[in-house]
Amino acid sequence: FNERGEIIHRKRQKKEYDLVINVPPGTTKSLIFTVFAPVWGWLQDGTLRFITGSYSSSLSEEHSDLARDLIKCQRFQTYYPDLFIRQDKDIKSNYHNNKKGSRYTTSVGGTVTGMHAHIIIIDDPLNPKKAASIVELKTANDWIGRTLSTRKVDKDVTLTILVMQRLAEDDPSGVLLE
């Protein structure tokens, strides 16, 4: 917003592509992509809106909470005092910073109605123990392809990042790469 209360839109560059990252478990992918990356993004551009998701709502919320705790910690605030979480918009699954940026956290099959993001991060959309299930594969693929794909601020600009271990030929990585 400017001094007259008018909305100012940032000009964002078109993305070259979406990103699919396939790595094995235990490589700190969740910390890097769902905890640290949104915080780093806000340090570059505080107006960014993120949607993050995983196969489990409790896992998604745990990662979101870790990022929120990082921003709130004393050491972070000492180095980056200009970025903080708004007190009136501060819950695990949906919080906003003081620069108009936000993070909404959900899970496969979960709702994202009314939310739109500049960056969508999907971390492990399939539970490895259920990856052989045709129903689980279809649910994850449909959620990514039919639900999250409609939650972009601008289809030419919004980046989708999928991070997971490969679990099947037709898992979300396979579908997005196709």
pTM recorded for the entire structure: 0.91
Angle at 60 between CA 31 and CA 45, to 5 degrees: 60
Residues 12-68: tens digit of each pLDDT: 888 888 999 999 988 999 999 999 999 999 999 999 999 999 999 999 999 999 999
pLDDT of residue 1: 53
Residues 102-121: tens digit of each pLDDT: 999 999 999 898 999 999 99
Helix runs in the chain, H state only = 29-30, 37-44, 57-72, 74-79, 134-142, 172-177
